[in-house]
Amino acid sequence: MPTMFEKIWNGHRVLEREDGQTLLYVDRHLLHDGTAPAFEMLRKRGVKLRAPERAFATPDHYMPTDTRRIDEIANPELREMVASLTRNAAAEGFTLFGLDDARQGIVHVVGPEQGISQPGMLIVCGDSHTSTHGALGALAFGIGMTEVAHVLATQCLWQRKPRAMRITLDGALAPGVTAKDMILHIIAHIGTAGATGHVIEYAGSAVRALSIEARLTLCNMSIEAGARAGMVAPDNTTFAYLAGRHYAPTDWDRAVEGWRALCSDADAVFDTEVALDAGAIAPTVTWGTSPQEAVAVDGIVPDPAAAPDAARRAEMTAMLDYMDLRAGQPVAGIALNRVFIGSCTNGRLEDLRAAAAIAQGRRVADGVRAWVVPGSAPVKRAAEEEGLHQIFLDAGFQWREAGCSMCLGTNGEIGAPGERIAATSNRNFRGRQGPGVRTHLMSPAMAAAAAITGRITDIRTL
Amino acid sequence: MDRFAPVRSVAVPFARDNIDTDQILPARFLHLPRDADHGACLFRDLRWRADGSEDPDFPLNRAPWRDVRIALGGRNFACGSSRENAVWAMHGHGFRAVIAPSFGDIFAQNGLKNGLLPVRLPEATVAAMIARAEADPSAELTVDLQAQHVIDADGIAHPFEIDPFARRCLLDGIDELAFTLSHHEDIAAFENRIGRDNQ
Ligand code: SF4
């Protein structure tokens, strides 16, 4: 009867409160360099970490991606964010993959990569894209800073049980279409609040056919549809991915047996069901300032005049104004200033391979600045072993160190007002990549193609 | 945390749907320490123009709404990034309650833990309150958590739902952490059951 989500939820219940909230035990608490205020909260109360062995940290948000040296961070406030994580790890005794560690990277890339994130686990992190880890069959969600402090102190978190949603994607993806296009398509379909209050389980033959890296991309943007979490049932693809990773279970066979039992039962009932045809998905690009404002790359910028009501008309008009686009304008052909390939959405090895396949033997268009920022130090090393960095460098891309970089820009890496950026990250909000910057979200291959032509380009025609 | 007292104030409308926390507090202020003046950064890029001048059209820059404790929002208010700093910025500016048809999940949770009450009311009710505020910016609302209702400018009470535990914490000014720490034996029992390291 139960869904996978319910099985994991039930396995982590410590207590129920009179109001129906549940105290859940947290298996893995991931930390990054934005977590300083939570440690401050604990210090003020004189409380120590309950289970430091369950906390794993890495600097990603504040570290510039042109250096690995903390003392080279020019802004003292940003430098302190990174430095304080190192100090807190030493004082509290949790594991840190610091800048001098070969495992450093974006927290949501590092967790799966090191085998820290596993099926059946309850994983939290003070970052909304924690939903990423659900790709391995975990229940993983983002929390606020006060909740981070609460988890550090108690290893537990109060939650009201979300509802269960299943999004089934059957069919085969067309050539040139990736997990990024799938999730942009889903969000465009159900809306940015379409999964509010739900945990999404992605199912169907198109999802089963995805690699773990692609499933991580899919689950990553669940929050952009309003969901608490996104997950994919673990299968042989999952087990093959985890086998041999540093933190993988030692009693492997028993672990796999337990993981197999996690899948939603055949008669499990979901509160909400959505079914989409994977074969109908085209390479997808956003035109507006919310991830739901996405269209097929061979489509046009929509017309506010066709909006169902005045409020939506005003919203769309404001977006077109900010984005400096015209209704009816073809999406392909919009000229760009910059390209950002990276982030916890699309900064893994497969993403870089897809981008390199497009970049190979071509040149970045004149006047376009294009960056490739690996999601982690291991991704960077693996890409270099395959020679991907040379392809990018030869084509005129910058090849940088691992971190969040232009996804959020808290490390100072932002665009200039008015610049238009093709980005493989997850948010195109106004000002997300710097005040006045215009962001178009797309897949790594599409971003690479945009760099080559200097325009949004349908890779199927490149 | 202070005890949550009834709030009587003018109400400023942020009348768009899907206002994200990147707008409420831009990312470049995320490194500020907890006790910094987050209120000064609230809606930074919408309140001020690029040249540093105030945008007179932004509601917070209009006379009766400069000193305001209640916000009216559209659907899915404060979606997106989990940054608790967005709540700190609203609270720091003086807000104690936000009334909207729906909220970003994490923002609503964060609000309850920081003395910023998220009040869900039906869409038509919020729309009427926004229309009223725009027609008469000096119209006042009262948000009464004890009574669990909002009294509009015409004196009509609109009841709202809230998690009873969060309500008690807010009214008594206590935080959840103290409550959970008092249950450390239950947590220890759970840990023993699963094994201290269920790696
Ligand atoms: S890459 Fe972007 S979304 Fe991912 S953790 Fe970093 S800032 Fe957050």
Q: Which of A81, A128, A432 sits opposite B106 (nearest CB)?
A: A128
B199 — pLDDT class (breaks 50, 70, 90): very low
CA A74 to ligand 1 centroid distance, Å = 21
**Cα–Cα distance, B30 to A347 (Å, whole number):** 23
- The residue among A70, A84, A74 whose CA lies nearest residue A35 is A84
- Contact check, Cβ <8 Å, B113/A144: yes
Q: What confidence score (pLDDT) does residue A18 get?
A: 83
Q: Residues lining ligand 1, judged by CB closer than 6 Å?
A: A 60-61, 106-108, 127, 129, 343-344, 404, 407-408, 425-426
Using one digit for the tens of pLDDT, what is the confidence trace for B112-137? 999 999 999 999 999 999 999 999 99
| Average pLDDT of the residues in B39-49 | 94
Owner of token pair 């450093």: A104
- CB proximity B198 to A under 8 Å: yes
**Cα–Cα distance, A94 to A325 (Å, whole number):** 48
- Contact check, Cβ <8 Å, A429/B80: yes
pTM: 0.94
Asked if B82 and A126 touch (Cβ cutoff 8 Å), the reply is yes
Q: Which of A25, A62, A432 sits opposite B22 (nearest CB)?
A: A432
- CATH code of A4-273, in short, is 3.30.499.10
Residue B195 has pLDDT above 80, yes or no: no
- CB proximity B180 to A under 8 Å: yes
CA A39 to ligand 1 centroid distance, Å = 21
Domain A284-461 of CATH type 3.30.499.10: yes
Residue of B nearest to A159 (CA): B109
* CB < 8 Å to B187, chain A: 14, 23, 25, 50, 154-156
Best A43, A192, A309 residue to mutate vs chain B (most B CBs within 10 Å): A192
| Average pLDDT of the residues in B40-47 | 94
Residue B25 has pLDDT above 60, yes or no: yes
- The residue among A299, A405, A291 whose CA lies nearest residue A347 is A405
* Rounded to 5°, angle at Cα A346 from A344 and A352: 125
Residue of A nearest to B167 (CA): A19
Domain B7-197 of CATH type 3.20.19.10: yes
Owner of token pair 């250096």: A67
**Cα–Cα distance, A398 to B82 (Å, whole number):** 30
| Average pLDDT of the residues in B62-77 | 95
Residue of B nearest to A147 (CA): B110
Using one digit for the tens of pLDDT, what is the confidence trace for A375-424? 999 999 999 999 999 999 999 999 999 999 999 999 999 999 999 999 99
In sequence order, which residues have a C-beta less than 8 Å from that of residue B192 and are 6 or more positions away? none
- The residue among A135, A137, A155 whose CA lies nearest residue A147 is A155
| Average pLDDT of the residues in B138-166 | 96
Q: What confidence score (pLDDT) does residue B2 get?
A: 82
- Contact check, Cβ <8 Å, A193/B20: no
**Cα–Cα distance, B14 to A319 (Å, whole number):** 16
| Average pLDDT of the residues in B37-56 | 92
- The residue among A29, A36, A28 whose CA lies nearest residue A59 is A36
Q: What confidence score (pLDDT) does residue A19 get?
A: 84
Neighbours of B56 (CB within 10 A): 8
For the record, the structure tokens of A46 come out as 């004189």
How many CB contacts within 8 angstroms connect chain A with chain B?
Answer: 159
* Rounded to 5°, angle at Cα B144 from B141 and B145: 140
* CB < 8 Å to B33, chain A: 36-37, 40
* CB < 8 Å to A37, chain B: 33-34, 84
For residue B111, give the H/E element and its range.
Answer: helix B105-112
Mean of per-residue pLDDT scores for chain B: 93
For the record, the structure tokens of A360 come out as 């190979």
**pLDDT less than 50: residues of chain A:** none
- Could you write out the three-class secondary structure of B11-66? EEEECCCCCEHHHHCCHHHCCCCCCCCHHHHCCHHHHECCCCCECCCCHHHCHHHC
Query: Mapping DSSP to helix (H, G, I), strand (E, B) and coil, where does residue B134 land?
Result: helix
Query: Mapping DSSP to helix (H, G, I), strand (E, B) and coil, where does residue B73 land?
Result: strand
**Cα–Cα distance, A33 to A176 (Å, whole number):** 36
CA A234 to ligand 1 centroid distance, Å = 24
Owner of token pair 């699963």: B194
**Cα–Cα distance, A194 to A241 (Å, whole number):** 31
Q: How far is the alpha carbon of A128 from chain B, nearest alpha carbon, in Å? A: 5
Q: What confidence score (pLDDT) does residue A33 get?
A: 96
B196 — pLDDT class (breaks 50, 70, 90): low
Q: What confidence score (pLDDT) does residue B133 get?
A: 97
CA A295 to ligand 1 centroid distance, Å = 23
Pairing of strands A13-16, A22-25: antiparallel
Using one digit for the tens of pLDDT, what is the confidence trace for A238-257? 999 999 999 999 999 999 99
Q: What confidence score (pLDDT) does residue B175 get?
A: 85
Give me the phi and psi of B73, to 5 degrees please: -120, 165
Helix axes A36-45, A145-154, angle to 10 degrees: 50
- The residue extents of the domains of chain A are 4-273, 284-461
Residue B151 has pLDDT above 60, yes or no: yes
* CB < 8 Å to A17, chain B: 165
Q: What confidence score (pLDDT) does residue B51 get?
A: 87
Q: Higher pLDDT residue, A384 or B33?
A: A384
Q: How far is the alpha carbon of B161 from chain A, nearest alpha carbon, in Å? A: 12
Neighbours of A387 (CB within 10 A): 11
Query: Mapping DSSP to helix (H, G, I), strand (E, B) and coil, where does residue B67 land?
Result: coil
**Cα–Cα distance, A305 to A6 (Å, whole number):** 44
Q: Report the share of chain A in percent with pLDDT over 70.
A: 100
* CB < 8 Å to A142, chain B: 82, 106
In sequence order, which residues have a C-beta less than 8 Å from that of residue B129 and are 6 or more positions away? B11, B13, B72, B99, B121, B141, B152
CA-to-CA separations, A107 to A50, A71, A221, A351, in angstroms, rounded: 21, 22, 15, 17
* Rounded to 5°, angle at Cα A365 from A335 and A282: 55
Q: What confidence score (pLDDT) does residue B92 get?
A: 96
Number of the ligand 1 atom closest to the C-alpha atom of A375: 1
Using one digit for the tens of pLDDT, what is the confidence trace for A187-233? 999 999 999 999 999 999 999 999 999 999 999 999 999 999 999 99
CA A429 to ligand 1 centroid distance, Å = 14
**Cβ burial, residue A357 (10 Å; 0-12/13-18/19+):** middle
**Cα–Cα distance, B111 to B108 (Å, whole number):** 5
Q: What confidence score (pLDDT) does residue B194 get?
A: 86
**Atom 6 (ligand 1) nearest CA:** A404
The domains spanning A4-273 and A284-461 adopt the same CATH topology: yes
Using one digit for the tens of pLDDT, what is the confidence trace for B131-148? 999 999 999 999 999 999
